[in-house]
Structure 1
Amino acid sequence: MKTLIAFAIMLMGSAACAESRPNIIVIMADDLGYADVGFNGCSDIPTPNIDSLADDGARFSSGYVTGPMCGPSRAGFITGQIQSRFGWHGNPNQPLNPTHGLPTGIKTVAHWMQQQGYATGGVGKWHMGTTHDQHPNALGFDDWYGFLSGGRLYYPMDHPSYNGKYLRMKKPWGMRDMHHTMPIIHNQQPLQWEQYLTRELTDYGIGYIEENQGKPFFLFMSYNAPHEYLEAPEETIAKFPASEMTKIPGVKPQARSIYAAMVDEMDQGIGKLLETLDRLELSQNTVVWFLSDNGGMKRTSDNRPLRGAKWDSFEGGLRVPMVVRWPTKVKPGTVLDHPVTSLDIGATAIALAGGDLSKTQLDGADITDYMTGQTSDAPHDELFWRTDRKVGQKSGVLRVGDFKLIVQKNEVQLFNLKDDLSETTDLSKSQPERVQTMLRRWQELDQQSKPSYFESTQKGKNAYQYADYQWLKGTPHYRASEN
């Protein structure tokens, strides 16, 4: 009898432990400017719901991603590894090119969360390959609703606003049009949809939370807003007259107006997700992260006071808005200044789920103690990047303390970010010893990088225009296999 009682107590303890493990939601924007959220000073685009995460949680003033463009940044985040270490360099150009995605056999953060008994879901943009081995379902996601390419039109291809353009495209398709016309799928099945895409993704995210509320879940809300193409509902654009938009060098007011509407739609969607957590009484036990996948585009966004934009190794390409909310654990209104990286999100999630990070080979750190105020120590002594824009280049960044070294071909630049956040003054000539020390260290870390496995895209004008995946059926990109 005593044995049965002890066993029952053990089971109750295990159940209580499982129930106490927090849900994890990671909300990732696409090409959002550093200064395009209220908590970073934006004045022309209200973001009350995103700002509420910062007000109720912690803001990372030095939050970084692993690459200044979508593909490498997302590959780093989802695998929890510096992507150059498995040979990912630059942005994948052709969505149906089998080499332009994650390598076969790689594990993801979702895999590790699955192993800890979490339900794993993803919504929105993938951009990490389209083969069977690169599909989210093969890479740790129980459920995926979205698109596998690097972008998407915000309405179906037959929407009246396109005047039939995408229904009578001449072949071959260009890279941008290929990416932006992949179908919306639920796991392996293409689906019909009608409303503005940001709203569609939000609705599915809400449904996922409702369906999985009874167990711990990991949800990757991967919005493609405000990535180009610039599209938004007319009534939302009307809220942001071009004449009232902030004047930003290189940004046309009309483009800024549409971009603002896209950010607004995403912010409204995030508000609905947060309301769902409140309605289901899940907020207290849910960790919600928000960040952008890289810096904003030069022609749409405001990254000031940072220098540069998407594609750049300057802060404007790598430093992004980043916040975390965890009620009762993270003190509201906290500002954390030590550098952290998107790699830390996955590592922290796995640790909170009960996983052993020593068995994962992840490059991120568990920053639970840092974000909850249990320690003020910096999570990292140094941060390393490979920032190649194209295959064959060799460029990167090393940050050690306040100093940042940029390596590009045979040139280097050195900046003190504490004194010069806008990277206006190159110190490489005045501090040659520091440059040599940091350059040697960057080269040492870069020895862990593998050569790119992306195949050349120059294989003829019809290369990778079609595939026979079932989820492509009904699109201009499907062609049955001849085998």
Structure 2
Amino acid sequence: MRRSSIMRLWLVLILAFQLTSQLALAQRASTETSRERRPNILLILSDDCGHAEFSIQGHPRYKTPHIDSIGKNGVHFRQGYVSGCVCSPSRAGLLTGRYQQRFGHEFNIPPAYSETNGLPRSETLLPQLLKEVGYRTIALGKWHLGYAPQFHPMERGFTDYYGFLQGSRSYFPLKKPTRLNQMLRDRAAIPEEKFDYMTDHLADEAIAYIKQSQSQPWMIYLAFNATHSPNDATAADLKAADGNKIYAMTIALDRAVGKVLDALKECNLSKDTLVIFINDNGGAGGHDNGALHGKKGSTWEGGTRIPFLVQYPAKIPPGQVIDEPVIALDLFPTILEVAGVGDEELKKCQFDRQKLDGISLIPRMTGKTQRLVDRPLYWKSGKRWAIRHGNLKAVAGNEDQGDQAGLFDLFSDPYEQQDLSATHSQQLHQLEALYHQWESTLEKPRWGSSPGKKSGSGTDDRSTDNP
């Protein structure tokens, strides 16, 4: 009798526990349903494209309607910059929201396996924070931030990865890939014969992830290697470009971006997806930077000015053109604001927002403010450096300069042709003082510049990203 009573009591307790658990789950589900879903983030990065090689940037021949549509459906920042004049440092700044020289990532990572060369583990990357608040974080394409396992994208906050680790590789399948340029699905190497042309293939991969990820917000970092060397193009694109290989590669890039944008529409996600398109540095040799002075590897405008396009139909009015200078470092705080990642969540992640060097662009893009805050922008690659504050820019150390820094007014002289240093020496000294104050806060470079070049030279042309 007593045993029977005990058994009945246990049964009642179990049923009560199950009922309580079911009610808690139902309440949690109801809360999640009623809470506004965080928007998706699509960050598209092209590689080595010339500043002028897009029709939205004014190229008379290149037609890039799909890339152009991002700016037309949102904001075209006509004075957009990156924080580095070559590939790897620029990416390090983008994903940390900090000047990469602060943690010694000043030069391209040498194209050889190393257990130590990579974006320092002490730095917090944007996907780490988004992952903590429920995002699926997907990296696709070129990595170029370290080759050893501890630098792998999935060790730096990405939940998924498909791409290659090195700075460049063929756009076609390789018969004998190396461990640096082989294609990886997450951490495992995969057969290469499964794709035809890299640019289209990365777009197809992005589309597959978009369609898989309907139940949770996602961030996709889509890092095309287009249009970096080698100048590989399909026969059809070459024909459409009248044999111009760089234009043929650009046709493929625009097509790929269009396919991904179409997938957003198909999945009814366009309105609630922040889409960003930028390039990683100024155009490399052989590319078209328009009338800008310099190219990739320099701290002239041609080395750091990029196309900078943003759309987010749910919040950002279309058709805006903004001429105030912005930098890729601004994208980290911008994305945090769009994703609704507040101070309390950052505190749980032990992340200090004050460490960021950029500012959120959301108030400017939504019309809450009429102008961006006035702040200096800095560039450094070995002996080459520059600072812009307002319309004035001091620049020094480039190959076509002497030892003296030049001073230029980018409002009246955007192509840096009229050196004002002799007549405006006081303004130059003020900018130099600001630059050297910033420089004093930086960490020593963790590795030298390109193989075969003197450490600290900062020299980098198209060949230095190659195997």
Structure 2 Cα separation of the partners of residues 352 and 16 of structure 1: 19
The answer to whether 1:322 aligns with 2:322 is no
Structure 1 Cα separation of the partners of residues 29 and 373 of structure 2: 35
The answer to whether 1:102 aligns with 2:119 is yes
Match of 1:466 in 2: none
SS at match of 1:439: helix
The C-alpha deviation readout for 1:147-205, integer Å capped at 9, x for no partner, is 011011111123xxxxxxx68xxxxxxxxxx79x7101011111123311111111111
The answer to whether 1:415 aligns with 2:408 is yes
TM-score (norm 2): 0.85
Structure 2 Cα separation of the partners of residues 353 and 16 of structure 1: 17
* Counterparts in 2 of 1:156 and 1:5: CA distance versus 1, 3 Å: closer
Match of 1:454 in 2: 447
Residues 144-163 of structure 1 mapped to structure 2, 5 A cutoff? 144-158=161-175
Structure 2 Cα separation of the partners of residues 47 and 24 of structure 1: 22
The answer to whether 1:338 aligns with 2:324 is yes
| 2:107 and 2:447 in contact (8 A); partners too | no
Residues 268-279 of structure 1 mapped to structure 2, 5 A cutoff? 268-279=255-266
The answer to whether 1:350 aligns with 2:322 is no
Give the aligned residue type for 1:327: P
| 1:116 and 1:353 in contact (8 A); partners too | no
The answer to whether 1:241 aligns with 2:242 is yes
Q: 2:81 aligns with which of 64, 73, 84?
A: 64
Quote how far apart the aligned CAs of 1:288 are.
Answer: 0.3
* Counterparts in 2 of 1:282 and 1:310: CA distance versus 1, 3 Å: same
Residues 11-90 of structure 1 mapped to structure 2, 5 A cutoff? 12=30, 15-19=33-37, 21-90=38-107
Quote how far apart the aligned CAs of 1:12 are.
Answer: 4.7
Match of 1:286 in 2: 273
Structure 2 Cα separation of the partners of residues 304 and 137 of structure 1: 38
Quote how far apart the aligned CAs of 1:394 are.
Answer: 3.2
Quote how far apart the aligned CAs of 1:272 are.
Answer: 0.7
Structure 2 Cα separation of the partners of residues 148 and 376 of structure 1: 41
SS at match of 1:266: helix
SS at match of 1:428: coil
| 2:108 and 2:449 in contact (8 A); partners too | no
Match of 2:388 in 1: 399
| 1:60 and 1:340 in contact (8 A); partners too | yes
* 377-386 or 230-239, larger mean C-alpha shift: 377-386
| 1:95 and 1:129 in contact (8 A); partners too | no
The answer to whether 1:209 aligns with 2:202 is no
Please provide the CA RMSD for this pair. 2.4
Give the aligned residue type for 2:88: G
SS at match of 2:240: coil
For structure 2, the residue ranges without an aligned partner over 5 or more in a row are 1-21, 453-466
| 1:29 and 1:225 in contact (8 A); partners too | yes
The percent of aligned pairs where both chains have the same amino acid is: 33
Q: 1:93 aligns with which of 87, 99, 110?
A: 110
Structure 2 Cα separation of the partners of residues 379 and 198 of structure 1: 37
SS at match of 1:321: strand
Q: 2:250 aligns with which of 263, 267, 291?
A: 263
The C-alpha deviation readout for 1:71-112, integer Å capped at 9, x for no partner, is 110111011110000011121222412333211332101111
SS at match of 1:335: strand
Give the aligned residue type for 1:285: D
* 433-442 or 101-110, larger mean C-alpha shift: 101-110
The answer to whether 1:298 aligns with 2:297 is no
SS at match of 1:281: coil
Match of 2:219 in 1: 218
SS at match of 1:294: coil
Structure 1 Cα separation of the partners of residues 111 and 62 of structure 2: 33
Structure 2 Cα separation of the partners of residues 214 and 95 of structure 1: 40
Structure 1 Cα separation of the partners of residues 166 and 44 of structure 2: 18
How many residues align? The count is 418
Structure 2 Cα separation of the partners of residues 7 and 157 of structure 1: 50
SS at match of 1:267: helix
Q: 1:363 aligns with which of 357, 368, 391?
A: 357
Match of 2:437 in 1: 444
TM-score (norm 1): 0.82
Quote how far apart the aligned CAs of 1:305 are.
Answer: 2.4
Give the aligned residue type for 2:356: L
Give the aligned residue type for 1:195: D
Quote how far apart the aligned CAs of 1:18 are.
Answer: 4.2
Which portions of structure 1, spanning 4 or more consecutive aligned residues, are displaced by more than 3 angstroms?
4-18, 455-459
Structure 2 Cα separation of the partners of residues 127 and 5 of structure 1: 48
* Counterparts in 2 of 1:214 and 1:318: CA distance versus 1, 3 Å: same
Structure 1 Cα separation of the partners of residues 153 and 440 of structure 2: 30
Quote how far apart the aligned CAs of 1:304 are.
Answer: 1.3
SS at match of 1:411: coil
Quote how far apart the aligned CAs of 1:374 are.
Answer: 1.6
Structure 2 Cα separation of the partners of residues 15 and 381 of structure 1: 41
Structure 2 Cα separation of the partners of residues 318 and 441 of structure 1: 19
SS at match of 2:306: coil
Structure 1 Cα separation of the partners of residues 377 and 230 of structure 2: 32
The C-alpha deviation readout for 1:399-447, integer Å capped at 9, x for no partner, is 1100011132953111100000000011111111111111111011111
The answer to whether 1:435 aligns with 2:424 is no
* Counterparts in 2 of 1:113 and 1:236: CA distance versus 1, 3 Å: same
The answer to whether 1:372 aligns with 2:366 is yes
The answer to whether 1:307 aligns with 2:293 is yes
Match of 2:8 in 1: none
SS at match of 1:451: coil
Structure 1 Cα separation of the partners of residues 361 and 195 of structure 2: 41
Structure 1 Cα separation of the partners of residues 451 and 313 of structure 2: 51
Structure 1 Cα separation of the partners of residues 70 and 369 of structure 2: 21
Give the aligned residue type for 1:93: P
SS at match of 1:219: strand
Quote how far apart the aligned CAs of 1:139 are.
Answer: 0.3
| 1:340 and 1:379 in contact (8 A); partners too | no
Structure 2 Cα separation of the partners of residues 429 and 9 of structure 1: 71
Give the aligned residue type for 1:272: K
SS at match of 1:453: coil
Residues 181-220 of structure 1 mapped to structure 2, 5 A cutoff? 182-192=181-191, 193-220=194-221
* Counterparts in 2 of 1:97 and 1:304: CA distance versus 1, 3 Å: same
